């Protein structure tokens, strides 16, 4: 399959690109910084493009079969990369006759208590992240989700929990709606998105993806991910 990956130069996007190449796909990896993209392969084309530039997005989508997006930005006062980016991608997909798209969103868009979360995670950390620090970011993810739901593409919205690193793909859990797990490894997130290209079960569905093996402690996750700006 010929796949365009937006956000390909982020930590999840690089794993997704690697996995897609290993699975035999033809990959167009989109990044604003093509010189810093670390992967090389004869089935890989690295495309320098800003997802907020409709013409550049058009060029990255033309001639492909499907789009995967692991786009991400840090929390800020104004965020439009998710919604405007996906609006540009959807418009380009319509122009070029593509139907299938899977995008990363977040469990923070519709936060619900986790059975293992405890007071600190459920009542302090998540509300602070989703209603204060990341308020505008989650609002823009919500706009992105609404835009896809209102359109006629074959979309899947993938909501991971707190992301962390594991070297290998695990036996991850994927469910429609809320997944009751605090963590998702980026390898599992990438693998779940790639698997969707050959599986129609989650077309026009919002899914939660979680990893249940080798989870970090909350302290370790905050030290490795939140404080590292990831």
Ligand X SMILES: NC(=O)c1ccc[n+]([C@@H]2O[C@H](COP(=O)([O-])OP(=O)(O)OC[C@H]3O[C@@H](n4cnc5c(N)ncnc54)[C@H](OP(=O)(O)O)[C@@H]3O)[C@@H](O)[C@H]2O)c1
216 binds ligand X per the rule CB under 6 A? no
Do 188 and 167 form a contact (C-beta atoms < 8 A)? no
Torsion of CA 93, 37, 27, 201, to 10 degrees: -70
**Strand-by-strand arrangement of the 154-160 sheet:** 44-48, 26-31, 2-6, 66-69, 100-104, 154-160, 205-210, 173-176
- The one among 31, 83, 154, 156 contacting ligand X by CB under 6 A: 31
Query: Which pair of structure tokens corresponds to residue 151?
Result: 């359109």
50 binds ligand X per the rule CB under 6 A? yes
51 binds ligand X per the rule CB under 6 A? yes
Q: How does DSSP assign 50-83, residue by residue? A: -TT-HHHHHHHHTT-SEEEE-------SS--HHH
Do 197 and 3 form a contact (C-beta atoms < 8 A)? yes
Q: Pattern of binders to ligand X over 148-177, x per CB under 6 A?
A: ------------x-xx--------------
181 binds ligand X per the rule CB under 6 A? no
Among residues 25 and 186, whose Cβ is nearest to ligand X?
A: 186
Distance CA 37, CA 228 (A): 20
Do 75 and 134 form a contact (C-beta atoms < 8 A)? yes
139 binds ligand X per the rule CB under 6 A? no
Residue at token pair 């390909």: 8
7 binds ligand X per the rule CB under 6 A? yes
222 binds ligand X per the rule CB under 6 A? no
Torsion of CA 139, 146, 185, 76, to 10 degrees: -20
Size of the site for ligand X (CB under 6 A): 25
Stretch of residues binding ligand X (CB under 6 A), selected from 17-25, 71-79, 114-122, 196-204: 71-79
220 binds ligand X per the rule CB under 6 A? no
Measured in whole angstroms, the distance separating CA 187 from the mean position of its chain's CA atoms is: 12
Minimum Å distance from CB 88 to ligand X? Answer: 10
Stretch of residues binding ligand X (CB under 6 A), selected from 21-29, 31-39, 170-178, 192-200: 31-39
- The one among 104, 169, 193, 196 contacting ligand X by CB under 6 A: 104
Question: Applying CB under 6 A, which residues contact ligand X?
Answer: 7, 9-13, 31-33, 50-52, 70-73, 81, 104, 106, 160, 162-163, 186, 225, 230
């Amino acid at each position: 399959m010929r796949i365009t990956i937006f956000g390909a130069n982020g930590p999840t996007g690089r794993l997704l690109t690697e996995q897609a190449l290993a699975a035999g796909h033809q990959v167009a990896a989109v990044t604003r910084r093509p010189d810093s993209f670390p992967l090389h392969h004869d089935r890989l084309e690295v495309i320098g493009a800003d997802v907020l530039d409709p013409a550049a997005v058009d060029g990255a989508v033309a001639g492909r079969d499907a789009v995967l997006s692991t786009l991400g930005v840090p929390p800020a006062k104004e965020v439009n990369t998710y919604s405007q980016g996906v609006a540009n991608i959807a418009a380009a997909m319509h122009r070029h006759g593509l139907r299938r798209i899977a995008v990363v969103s977040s469990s923070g868009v519709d936060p619900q208590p986790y059975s293992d979360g405890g007071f600190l995670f459920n009542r302090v950390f998540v509300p602070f992240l989703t209603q204060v620090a990341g308020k505008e970011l989650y609002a823009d993810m919500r706009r992105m989700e609404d835009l896809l739901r209102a359109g006629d593409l074959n979309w899947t919205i993938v909501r991971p929990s707190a992301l962390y690193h594991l070297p290998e793909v695990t036996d991850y859990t994927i469910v429609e709606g809320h997944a009751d797990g605090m963590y998702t490894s980026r390898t599992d997130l990438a693998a779940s998105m790639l698997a969707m290209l050959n599986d129609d079960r989650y077309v026009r569905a919002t899914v939660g993806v979680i990893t249940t093996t080798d989870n970090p402690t909350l302290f370790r996750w905050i030290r490795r991910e939140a404080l590292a700006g990831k």
